[in-house]
A and B are shown apart, each in its own frame.
Chain A
């Protein structure tokens, strides 16, 4: 297990289409995070899973966005009816449990372009 894997690396889609991204965290990490990064900005928190439970969702996560983490392993992020404003890098990160936040391990991200 060499790190956090994200698939696909790049996705170009037409406006209005649905897209789904996958994240495979480090196997012993029970915490999983999704972030969105737009050009010139730092990553913005979208949602958090502890095992299979989705414990927090940002207000950035509109009704068109849904995330799942069945069985507490991999996670998927789906965007329905994509809009041009959804174009961004979507980053997944995972971390160990514990009181103190260790540094996350990030995946390389999925770059979404909506045309």
Chain B
């Protein structure tokens, strides 16, 4: 079964510092990986995805993610955090077991950026 794990419930970082939100995956075959962000009382917003190709994926709002096949990781990164980046971040993997393209989400990591 496909799954993703987000080992940190919360990440705290000072504004202007680099941030990393961790995600590891367990899939059979090549993974399709995604990051989403959720602001309070809102739906999820797509940040970026890895399908194939370059291991460094660039996405919205200055975020990027590095796909590492040997470590089965897909960590989300940003060189300089903003207070407005404070939100709940979800890693997801596409389920390869059927034709639905449904996504399987991790439990989320709350990012808190202190001014």
Interface residues, chain A, with chain B CB atoms under 8 Å away: 4, 6, 31, 33, 40-45, 48, 50, 55-56, 91, 93, 95, 100-109, 111
Give the residues in chain B near A50, CB-CB below 8 Å: 100
Docked Cα-Cα span, A45 to B95, in Å, equals: 11
Q: Is the CB of B100 within 8 A of A56?
A: yes
Select one of A33, A45, A106 contacting B45, CB under 8 A: A106
- Which B37-54 residues sit within 8 Å CB-CB of chain A? 41-46, 49, 51
Docked Cα-Cα span, A35 to B20, in Å, equals: 27
Select one of A4, A41, A105 contacting B108, CB under 8 A: A41
Give the residues in chain B near A45, CB-CB below 8 Å: 95, 102-104
Give, as a whole number of angstroms, the nearest-CB distance from A105 to chain B: 7
Q: Which residue of B lies closest to A43 (CB)?
A: B105
Q: Which residue of A lies closest to B35 (CB)?
A: A103
Select one of A40, A55, A103, A108 contacting B43, CB under 8 A: A108
**Most chain B beta-carbon neighbours within 10 Å: one of A42, A105, A107, A109:** A42
Give the residues in chain B near A109, CB-CB below 8 Å: 41-43
Q: Which residue of A lies closest to B60 (CB)?
A: A103
Q: Is the CB of B107 within 8 A of A40?
A: yes
Docked Cα-Cα span, A33 to B92, in Å, equals: 15
Docked Cα-Cα span, A68 to B107, in Å, equals: 28
Give the residues in chain A near B92, CB-CB below 8 Å: 42
**Most chain A beta-carbon neighbours within 10 Å: one of B92, B100, B106:** B100
Q: Is the CB of A48 within 8 A of B41?
A: no
Docked Cα-Cα span, A109 to B38, in Å, equals: 11
Q: Is the CB of A104 within 8 A of B46?
A: yes
